Amino acid sequence: MSTVNLSSQQLLEQRFVTVPQMVHAHASERPKHIALIHNDKRLTFAELDALVDRIAASLQRDAVCVGDSIAVCASSSIEYGAVYLGALRAGVAVAPLAPSSTPEGLATMVTDSGAKLLFVDASTANLFANTRAQLKARIIALDDASAGDVFTKWLTPVGTKPRAIDIAPELPFNIIYSSGTTGTPKGIVQSHAMRWIHVQRAAINLYDSSTVTLLATPLYSNTTLVSFFPTVARGGTVVLMAKFDAAGYLALAQKNRVTHTMLVPVQYQRIMALPTFGTFDLSAFKMKQCTSAPFAAALKADILARWPGGLVDVYGMTEGGGTFSLRAHEFPDKLHTVGKPAPGHDIRLIDADGKEVAPGEIGEVVGHSPAMMNGYHNQPKKTAEAEWFDSTGKRFFRTGDVGRFDAEGFLTLMDRKKDMIISGGFNIYPSDLEAVLSEHPSVADVAVVGVPSEKWGETPVAFVVLKPRAPSAAAAMTEWFNAKVGKTQRLSALRFVDQLPRSAIGKVLKRELRDEFAKGLADSG
């Protein structure tokens, strides 16, 4: 069926349409509606569509063909979003890279992705200073800085149209690299079909043409993209915040009458802790979402009590394979869980031997869904390691997370499988210990890790961030904690730190904590 003359609403009802097709439809129907906002700059759908055309045509001029890739390493901006969409219109996959990665890691990702062009800005250009000679990719400076070819000069003239192409559903949409904190980063290849499913299922969270989404996480993160693309594809407005701060976020939300957002737990924590939170008008909010890290039940309850609109905790993987959703405003008695599997998602729990566990037992979460990655880029062995097949041959992805279903089908996550502590033969879940420590009146933030022990194999150690002006007696806090838990869960050490190391999307980097503890022991020895 031809989609040329269909309205945007009719396109949304199709089995498969591309996100750039939706941008063009909105540009035709509502040319003056604002699509993107960043700082004082605004771009209408007509302007965005025209810019996307020029970017796609520029890629075609430079022989960046269907199935090829580009890379982007920059702060969130309108230009970043437009380049992403322009590449997609040309059938080119995008590898959005995290500026927090090491220069060596970034060079590896650019090479692995096969990117023909690398887009940077003034904030990231220096990351490639020492590796530029080894990169085959041509560098373009999005903000017209001296870091590479000037973006505005690289673009084809105003009004240029790209050659029309057919995009197959399975064509790579993007290559999203894992953080690499536990080894070489893996490129997760997502298809256009996978992203289209994200657009279609966004209706359940009230995304439509009136949506105004505020995004304060970076555009390289899937956390951001699962809200960015549905908003744009459904004709809404995206407000980009390149650098998060709690007060600035609330000011933007109030100014732009924001209806939707996707934040990570540490951002919610900082926002809710602001003494001035109640002075901001947040009445336009319809839905708030959260993902990427454990979301404390007490924090969810505080948000429900004081922040208008619904709250949805989303748990899943960038690889796809299974998503859980807790509609906290509908199930306030289930805030300790991540909810139930999304419609059409098949979730199982398996043991260490790959066998399904009995109801009520703990196991690793594996999932199958309509939206699953093609595989890890250039790493078929890693792809195979991530897969699990049931007795019928159905393909699932391993999450690496350990959890348990309750009688009503809600999933409680225990921990990452790799973070589970085995002490004296007993399984200890750091999240259980962190929950207890969080009850202490002096604790602002906490992480528990397992460290080697000659006597027990592993033993728990806590890293604690204290609240301002809180007493700082580690021995007293350890004694308080150990009196509240079982013998096998007792802490062998407790360390106060100014802050916990986190990734750009709020995940605690527990490997760094383990390394820090080991280094402290070595230095003291």
152 close to 119: Cβ distance less than 8 angstroms = no
The predicted structure's pLDDT at residue 145: 79
34 close to 25: Cβ distance less than 8 angstroms = no
| CATH class of the structural domain 13-243 | alpha beta
Token pair for residue 228? Answer: 């960015």
pLDDT digits (tens, 9 = 90+) for 278-330: 999 999 999 999 998 889 899 999 999 999 999 999 999 889 988 999 999 99
The predicted structure's pLDDT at residue 179: 56
pLDDT digits (tens, 9 = 90+) for 383-408: 999 999 999 999 999 999 999 999 99
| CATH class of the structural domain 423-524 | alpha beta
**What architecture (CATH level 2) is domain 316-415?**
Roll (2.30)
The predicted structure's pLDDT at residue 181: 41
**CATH 2.30.38.10 occupies which residues in the chain?**
316-415
What's the Rg (C-alpha) of the chain? 24
For residues 162 and 167, what is the distance between their CA atoms, to the nearest angstrom?
14
Strands (E), 92-169: 93-96, 117-120, 138-141, 149-150
**CATH 3.40.50.12780 occupies which residues in the chain?**
13-243
For residue 327, what is the enclosing H or E element? strand 324-327
pLDDT digits (tens, 9 = 90+) for 450-503: 999 888 889 999 999 999 988 878 999 999 999 998 888 999 999 999 999 998
For residues 194 and 318, what is the distance between their CA atoms, to the nearest angstrom?
11
The predicted structure's pLDDT at residue 182: 42
The average pLDDT across 6-10 equals: 96
The average pLDDT across 216-223 equals: 94
pLDDT digits (tens, 9 = 90+) for 233-279: 999 999 999 999 999 999 999 999 999 999 999 899 999 999 999 99
What's at 57, amino acid-wise?
A
Q: What single-letter DSSP state applies at residue 355?
A: P
For the chain, the average pLDDT equals 93
Query: What is the band of 520 on the pLDDT scale with cuts at 50, 70, 90?
Result: confident
Percent of the chain with pLDDT over 90: 82
**CATH 3.30.300.30 occupies which residues in the chain?**
423-524
Residue carrying the six token digits 């004694």: 479
pLDDT digits (tens, 9 = 90+) for 331-386: 999 999 999 999 999 999 999 999 999 999 999 999 999 989 999 999 999 999 99
> Looking at the whole model, is its pTM more than 0.75?
yes
The predicted structure's pLDDT at residue 180: 45
pLDDT digits (tens, 9 = 90+) for 107-150: 999 999 999 999 999 999 999 999 998 999 999 999 987 888 99
Query: What is the band of 525 on the pLDDT scale with cuts at 50, 70, 90?
Result: low
Q: Which of 171-175, 204-208, 314-318, 324-328 is the least confident region?
A: 314-318
